[in-house]
Amino acid sequence: MIVIDRLKSPKQDLSSLFVLRKEGDSPIDSKLLSEDLMEFVNRELKENNRTFFAFNKISHWEIIALVEDSENKSKNIDTQRRLAAKLLDFCDNEYIKHLQLVSNISKDETMGFVEGMLLASYTFDSYKTDPKKCIHPFDKLSIVNPFVDSKDIDQALIIARAVEKCKDLVNEPFCSLNAEGLAAAFVNMSHEAGIEVDVWHKDKIETEKMGGLLAVNKGSVDPPTFTIMTYKPEKTINKQPLVLVGKGLVYDTGGLNLKPGDYMNDMKEDMAGAAMMASALYAVASLGLPIYVVGLFPSTDNRPCGNAYASGDIINMYDGTNVEVINTDAEGRLILADALAYAKKLSPMLVIDSATLTGAAARAIGPYGIAAIQQRAEDYMSLLKQCGESTYERIAEFPFWEEYDELIKSDIADIKNCGPGEAGMITAGKFLAHFTDYPYLHLDIAGVAMSSVKKDYINKGASGYGVRLIVDFIQSLVLNKDIQQ
């Protein structure tokens, strides 16, 4: 991770980025730059609509970026994140190791730039054997802004570190991260952040009769795990916990309903929901937020081996519900359902789950946001959408009408594990909601957990999408007196 610090005033002979705001047709002006330079910039802006300039001063660089002023504050901040990613690429290409940011933009926009630089600077190079391919020349950003203090930077670094933990877990191949390995990673994160943690192994899971998790695990040679992370500081805003649930499917072949080969290429990502929620909880604890949070993470892989569960099977779930298996590739909802049923014991104020659950969600909204549903949680959904805008990890809420319940009715059991094909994201949500009796939000991150290309500050591979959203949501809960218990 790059180093971030503050400077009281710009340093000479240090490469600098000057971010200047465009205000209508008015000329750009800055007392920190020469009149000749400003004249050139304004001429290029007027004649060629040029907004990015880089001048090699031999001992250092002077870089100028002009930004539009939008009425949408969230868009302005995301513009800075994207600018930071562009600058990082430029610095790496020119072997600039240290840059100072000098701007007339707001504190929030400045921190957006910092956030974008931190997110874009991530690399996963654990398996690179050529050291030259691991070099990331840029390593330090200095902020020249009187409104940004050390606390702001420390917070940004904590959240970025949490996102990196999420990305590392999702990028890690299944050969080195099975269910027990994922649980061990969560234990390490918990110890680092002062979170109480308990891992259930197969014998405990069998004793507790978590039928969904055990069924999916039947075709695997590796045992399942169920990890419980509990963060409860001395003073909290809530007596009933906020519960975060994440799908920890470390690899998904589809089971006996085997996926076509190309669809298995990224299936190491199928535990991104658990990685996202555990990493968010790590950030919340590291920030010392005064809120009681519990994380529940069921984990296994889904294989077609040995005594694998089959279509037509009936599974007796943790809460006693009998589920008819229609498709063994609809396995994530089975392991999540046991965790959601377990959450009832905690009398939660709210439960949010996250999962790479359905291709239907990805097809519906593409790689641009999270598909979501809510039950008995309208106010929480409204707040989550606001946080989605501020972090630019946006939420698309789907309808959750009672007519969709018909699609998961079974002729021979209580419910079936998937519907006839239409409204796939919603029917998956209906299945999960069957196991809840509390305010509930379901987040389907199938379209955003991995990226096939680098796009601005989102890296190729694991995106870490959703960690910043959940942290911002929890920070907002702490501040929002109207929505607290």
The catalytic residues are 259, 333
Residue 442, classed as helix, strand or coil, is strand
CB within 8 Å of 476: residues ≥ 6 apart:
383, 386, 387
Which regions of 89-164 does DSSP assign to beta strands (E)? 98-103, 140-144
- Copy the structure tokens of residue 204: 């405990």
- Copy the structure tokens of residue 467: 């960690």
Yes or no: say if 351 and 268 are a contact pair by the CB < 8 Å rule: no
Can you tell me the distance from the alpha carbon of 168 to that of 175, in angstroms, rounded to the nearest whole number? 14
> Which one-letter amino acid corresponds to residue 204?
K
Q: Which residues pair with 200 in a beta bridge?
A: 226
- Copy the structure tokens of residue 330: 């609809």
- Copy the structure tokens of residue 475: 């920070």
Q: Locate tokens 């203090």: which residue?
A: 149
Longest dimension (CA), the chain: 81
User: Could you give the C-alpha distances from 282 to 26, 254, 279, 336, 471, in angstroms and in order?
Assistant: 46, 30, 5, 20, 10
DSSP state of 481: T
> Which one-letter amino acid corresponds to residue 336?
L
